[in-house]
Homo-oligomer: A and B are copies of this chain.
Amino acid sequence: MPLWKVYHPVGAYTDEDKHELSKRITDVYFMLPRFYVGVIFYEVPEASFYIGGQPTRNFVRIHADHVARQMDSEAKKTMFLTRVEGAIAPFIKDRGFDWEFHVDETPFDLWTIQGIRPPRAETEDEKRWIVENRASPRTHA
């Protein structure tokens, strides 16, 4: 978590594009361990991708699941959404694609990495995970 799924037209992105965009998405979550951020790209053929009941070959649809943090203030949500737009613009808006983005927030207590339940926000364990950039056994409850 976060897990982003990016549904895009066939051929919209090169491998280098996807790598670079995934790095920009990861940077949005600067407060989290980098390995928390997963991004999966899907090519969707025009005949399998509909907006408003019409086939589309110019649309990028992004769905993100958030687990590690929930945004509890309007200010945080606005800041987050603004950062997202800045991160994705070079690969979406600036290339003339249409796009839509939505986030779901899912339960922290039903999440594991390498079989370990991740530490709470800003705990000593989370700080260590950020530095080491990998999951390791918890040292606090």
* Contact among B50, B53, B77 for A109, CB-based, below 8 A: B77
Report yes or no: B47 in contact with A61, Cβ–Cβ below 8 A: no
* Neighbour of A50 across the interface among B39, B106, B112, B133, CB < 8 A: B39
Q: Which of A43-63 contact B (CB under 8 A)?
A: 44, 47-55, 59, 61, 63
Q: Give the oligomeric copy count.
A: 3
For chain A, the bracket of interface size reads 35 or more
Complex: chain B residue closest to A7, CB-CB: B40
Which residues does chain B contribute within 8 Å of A48, judged by CB atoms? 18, 40-42
Check if B52 sits within 8 Å of A37, measured CB to CB: yes
Does A124 count as interface, using CB distance less than 8 angstroms? Answer: no
Which among B34, B50, B63 is the interface contact of A53 at CB below 8 angstroms? B34
